[in-house]
Structure 1
């Protein structure tokens, strides 16, 4: 036989060719195996396999609020994988999975010869779950014409090593934790939560079949985008399960008849629940992680290390708060635009529009190119398709950049913070009307004048400095030394000879009396009182501070109100309770921060609550009772700033404190009139709608059914006086009292200045 082969040159050359091809194959394979095309992971490295994992942000009950990730991936254990999910995968992707060692040798050879000899990149076949896992973990590189072959062999080597290192169950687990699903989602847990709002352990047969079906082509079979196509692919998976006897024929038929129902939840950075809150958490956690190191001595990565951030946020209340804010702002926006009509500043004030344009990236880009203002304005007047936000829908229209900027200038924005006053634990945080289009957070970033919401600090200081609740002050207007004359926003027919006690003056938010109480108490005493209650910002020591000309953040104002329902002590807002690593080890833990000392006596605290309850029951916040029908125990304070720029409301219940703000991002754009812009109309309804929604949920009974403790007979007696009294005949005839107010201001100013002898000897001023 050997001699016959030697004598036949055709056979001889055929054998030489085959031997050469085999040798080339072995050399080619060896070059891949030993890393000539790129180093392959060793068995030791595979044992320590670690993938990027998303950091989860959790509500107080452990429910997922959102994630921080490069790839949306959240690993789970094998025990959390339902049997029907595993069966669906094996039946569809690798029927012999539990029989082979990770490689289908016959299919691999077919791929090799088809790819090299026929240059058929669609040779396919031979792809086991282990091979797919290798591809999922290490991806593919571009090696030119031989790329597909090199990648396939690399995957085969890695797959064999994986099979040597891990059990079949571990490979299934790793596969499900790394495989890409639709919408840039990695891992079965993230996919189950995103598309069905369930943990993997909770998904049913049809849902499992849908997710496994997307693995063939994650975009083409995306159930959100192509529901019908996804349903048909689901049915193919079910049929495969029947073919390999994981399901009976009847079970397949029954499952195929069910509708495809999604419960889609997008956990992207811009969308989903509490985006403003999550953005703040991300900032805080990043700063905290900068101070920590893992067991390898390296810093933690918020996007890759699979941390768990536990927060105080109440998932349900946050949902209701976002609904309440958007419902009201949608209606208020219509009032706002109707009130301005064609005189709207975003239409008529070109300076406001130009200033807003200068903040855009388009303006800055053109400016860098050396163009002047006129050239830039001309270019930004050119129309193009631009996506524009509106409450009813987001649509793309052909408008100019200038028109787009004017469009966004018209929108009112809002902020809301609700917390437990006894601890400062944040329950709801809404920083604006839509994070995707308005990313400025009005809870943590904005400072605005607070208007009449500052008055309770004035009245608290008055009580603390010995002024009685039944002391009367005239409502008459007075011009102070600096020529400033505060007035009330009530009826022009208000009797100038009427005097009001503190409770009545606060509940009606009377400006003239607030300033007189301030002057009687002393500006410095009021400022000190406000700071003692939690305000850290600089407060102007001028009479107008009584009307809230100080600019404070929403968080700061909320914290300063906590003493009214926390035994006189200030609670600082906090929202992160602990941070855990991927194994559940606590990296950092946080507790409530509550002041040790009281800033208000218990008697005066209760008096102030009674006065602010009167604001709700008979004063500027009566809409809570009349319009919204709320019967909860509520104290509160409305606030409206100068020229109707800002609307505020502080809602106080025994176990919940909520502050809302509404206004335009550009300070120059206010409400057209007080009817629309007053706090009772602009900000109060957000709180009112939230309380309505909470009243219909029994889970909030601890808040909605809570009652303020009845006041003592002593306090009742202190407040038992007529709400108002009229000046006597001679006072009406000759005046008096108010004419001394400017002198009080001058005296107040002198207190701040030390005379020569006092500076020299420490004695009394000779002024």
Structure 2
């Protein structure tokens, strides 16, 4: 029989057991209650089923070339373009699992083993967050709380969201989302941007050590930043490789070999001012904003260019765009060197300006000062007075300026007065270039300047300059259309005047041939090939300015053109964009096709929101267009464009300014050079049957120009860019740039064979592309 003491002890023990079970069950109920309260939103808003299905992430608008390459993106903060799981290389996924969540496929959002280990070791043995939990944190509440209670409630919310994500998505979808959401720094939001920015590749192309580096950044991308801390990042990459060995994803020998290698970054920054087709992307930014303004979503709200993940399919060919940009870089660096040589202080005390007084230069610089971004910010953002602002332009300031170095655009850190930097930038020659398929209207390449970061004014569509002799084919085409002239018709090469007031000209207009030589006669083909001003003037007198302007307007030119005879020699200011589209009609059998830059716009789900409709119109008959092309072929065969045919090494002054010369093209080419008064502008328009390309070169101010026609003509300033570009296009066998003949119309009635035509055929050289080309009268 138990003693009273034993009975009391038993009762006490039973009491402890009851308290233990009550505490244990109460704890479980408390945890359940906490989880219920958290799931009901007591500790902060929780995502519902709809939000989980469509998590709100900012997606950049992607600009895609005609050959399927990404040209760039539009974004404000998040340069993110999501990809599917199938686009991830196997070793990238294995690196993630080995490093972040080895039991990922065995749990349902919460790793019980890892959680218990973290509790027992108080976190010293590593964290317990699964990939699902980390995704929950990234998607729905970002950075952690700084206090213990906050961290605890956050962790509870992560667990709940993680389990919901596991029910909502497959394991593969969770992995893809995690790669897509993470910020890898340096505008590398998500794995696709990271692969492109750090290695210049698509994710599928990443090799093993590249994948390991990117996975290593998941621990802390700010700490393991490959640009700022390459050695620390390399150590972290090697830890990832070791983890892959630990979980049998990688062989030990392969790991040892890879751990010895450097990071081998191939840094390709993706920003609005860097990368390929920067000027085109700026044009596209305006195009898209206009489109968004006029095309709301089905619910009436507006699309976001920066957050909605639109896909914009463009006509730009990434290969041709790269060749165009390289051609500009190659030629402009050498041409600029020649320009600097002519404008040293010893040779030109007012460099880069010519024939301007000190007062005129001061006024020009002051106007530029008031148009600068510095003036705008100080005036409107800081509220400074004009006197204060102007004084700031004369104080030395640290700045980074543009320069050419070894054939490439570069930057130099320097100390300079802002007013001196304005003058410095005015010494640089600018350029504009556009290439287009004349049949489809698809614009294949667009280069608006030498460097977008420092020269943001687009000289393809924004800028307009006098076109010089490149306007003459419009006069010839009008005469052929109206009077049925043949390239073989002969005209006297003698002085000629159009009397005052005949066509709105206030005085007699008597254009001169540049070399001052006259006499004999020329065929129209020879006259255009050598840009003879007097014969162009005779044609203008026969047709009048108004029909020429009417033709040009039908060819897509929107700029104002005065109805006076002097337009025959190119006094009008037109853009490269307008000129290329107009010339393209000649190659397209007289049919004008409006340039196309965007073919399709899709939303993030692939739904087509916009598809372009071609805009065309008949302007010239097929026969008249072909005859004009034959005239333009004469320019390349025997006129100012003949250097495109030459073989041998560059000679004379051309050694200084021409790279890759000669081009030795043997295929049919139609083209026209152009130079304006005082060599301020150089043009070349070149055509083959399926590609029309226009190039302009000049300084920002017309008073900054070459002193001599040797360098300052279209054949020296602009034609080499066309030649280099086309040479690259022909070398690339993946492109289909024509080498054949322009198609001859059926029942051609106009004679284009001038082998038996009369006329002395004097070759006056590039006579129309000289300073007297625009003797306005």
- Tell me how large the CA RMSD over aligned residues is: 3.4
Hey, what does 1:83 align to over in structure 2?
90
Change (3 A) 1:258 1:133: same
Match of 2:554 among 521, 532, 535: 532
Hey, what does 1:611 align to over in structure 2?
631
- Displacement of 1:420 in angstroms is 0.7
Give the secondary-structure state (helix, strand or coil) at the position aligned to 2:173: helix
Confirm or deny: 8 A CA contact 1:530 1:560 kept in the other structure: yes
- Displacement of 1:480 in angstroms is 4.5
Hey, what does 1:136 align to over in structure 2?
138
Confirm or deny: 8 A CA contact 1:320 1:694 kept in the other structure: yes
Hey, what does 2:774 align to over in structure 1?
none
1:631 aligns with 2:666: yes
Match of 1:59 among 39, 54, 65: 65
Structure 1: gaps of 5 or more residues:
727-744, 746-767
- Displacement of 1:272 in angstroms is 1.1
Change (3 A) 1:315 1:90: same
Match of 1:683 among 718, 721, 738: 718
Hey, what does 1:302 align to over in structure 2?
305
Give distance in 2, aligned partners of 1:468 and 1:501: 9
Give distance in 2, aligned partners of 1:622 and 1:5: 115
- Displacement of 1:255 in angstroms is 3.6
Instruction: Give runs of aligned pairs for residues 214-225 of structure 1, distance below 5 A.
Output: 214-225=217-228
Hey, what does 2:157 align to over in structure 1?
154
Hey, what does 2:79 align to over in structure 1?
72
1:387 aligns with 2:395: no
Match of 2:472 among 455, 475, 483: 455
1:491 aligns with 2:515: yes
Q: Deviations over 1:653-710 (max 9, x none)?
A: 111100011122234434433332211111111101111222322223x325222346
Confirm or deny: 8 A CA contact 2:673 2:685 kept in the other structure: yes
Hey, what does 2:773 align to over in structure 1?
none
Give distance in 1, aligned partners of 2:472 and 2:240: 67
Give distance in 1, aligned partners of 2:268 and 2:344: 39
Confirm or deny: 8 A CA contact 2:470 2:570 kept in the other structure: yes
Give distance in 2, aligned partners of 1:602 and 1:167: 61
- Displacement of 1:375 in angstroms is 4.0
- Displacement of 1:225 in angstroms is 4.7
Give distance in 1, aligned partners of 2:87 and 2:627: 56
1:94 aligns with 2:101: yes
Give distance in 2, aligned partners of 1:73 and 1:585: 19
Confirm or deny: 8 A CA contact 1:136 1:179 kept in the other structure: yes
Confirm or deny: 8 A CA contact 1:503 1:723 kept in the other structure: no
Change (3 A) 1:124 1:135: farther
Give distance in 2, aligned partners of 1:725 and 1:319: 40
Give the secondary-structure state (helix, strand or coil) at the position aligned to 1:66: strand
Give the secondary-structure state (helix, strand or coil) at the position aligned to 2:221: coil
Match of 2:492 among 446, 464, 473: 473
Q: Deviations over 1:599-647 (max 9, x none)?
A: 3333332322222111112111222223432223211111112232211
Confirm or deny: 8 A CA contact 2:108 2:163 kept in the other structure: yes
Give the secondary-structure state (helix, strand or coil) at the position aligned to 1:650: strand
Give distance in 2, aligned partners of 1:604 and 1:641: 27
Hey, what does 1:356 align to over in structure 2?
368
Change (3 A) 1:514 1:34: same
- Displacement of 1:566 in angstroms is 0.8
Counting helix residues as a fraction of each chain, which structure ranks higher? 1
- Displacement of 1:106 in angstroms is 7.5
Change (3 A) 1:291 1:409: same
Hey, what does 1:733 align to over in structure 2?
none
1:658 aligns with 2:693: yes
Q: Deviations over 1:458-479 (max 9, x none)?
A: 1111122224541313332647
Change (3 A) 1:664 1:502: same
1:190 aligns with 2:193: yes
Q: What's the TM-score once normalised by structure 2's chain length?
A: 0.84
Q: What's the TM-score once normalised by structure 1's chain length?
A: 0.85
Change (3 A) 1:219 1:625: farther
Change (3 A) 1:205 1:315: same
Give distance in 1, aligned partners of 2:231 and 2:158: 34
Name whichever of 444-453 and 334-343 sits farther off: 334-343
Give distance in 1, aligned partners of 2:86 and 2:753: 67
Name whichever of 511-520 and 192-201 sits farther off: 192-201
- Displacement of 1:269 in angstroms is 1.8
Instruction: Give runs of aligned pairs for residues 13-52 of structure 1, distance below 5 A.
Output: 32-52=38-58
Instruction: Give runs of aligned pairs for residues 244-255 of structure 1, distance below 5 A.
Output: 244-255=247-258
- Displacement of 1:53 in angstroms is 2.0
Change (3 A) 1:7 1:395: farther
1:327 aligns with 2:330: yes
Give distance in 1, aligned partners of 2:612 and 2:304: 20
Hey, what does 2:751 align to over in structure 1?
715
Match of 1:316 among 319, 334, 339: 319
Confirm or deny: 8 A CA contact 2:35 2:160 kept in the other structure: no
Q: Deviations over 1:452-510 (max 9, x none)?
A: 11100111111222245413133326475344555446434x2x333323222211112
